[in-house]
Amino acid sequence: MAGHCKIGDNVVVTAQSGTHGDIPAGAMVSGSPAFDHKQWLRSVTAFAKLPELARAIRGSIKTGKE
C-alpha cells in the first residue's frame, strides 16, 4: 500500500490484494489490482471458464457459425 493512499474507516482489503488509490469507507476490495470484492468473485468464476469459451469461439469461427 502506497503512502499517499487514503483508506476509509471499516475497509477490508483481502489477502494478497494490491491497492492503488483511495478506498472509500466501508469498502471491501480484492485482487491485484484491488477492486470491489463482489465483482472480483464474479471475475474469478469467469476466469475458470475462459479456456472453454475460447475453444467455443474458435470452433464457431472455423465453422462460420455465430
pLDDT per residue as tens digits for the range 7-65: 999 999 999 999 888 999 999 999 999 999 999 999 999 999 999 999 999 998 888 76
Whole-number Å distance between alpha carbons of 29 and 19: 8
Whole-number Å distance between alpha carbons of 50 and 66: 18
| pLDDT of the residue at 52 | 95
Which of the pair, 3 or 37, is modelled with greater confidence? Answer: 37
Q: Encode the chain in three state secondary structure.
A: CCCCCCECCCCEECCCCCCCCCECCCCEEECCCCEEHHHHHHHHHHHHHHHHHHHHHHHHHHHCCC
- pTM, full prediction: 0.69
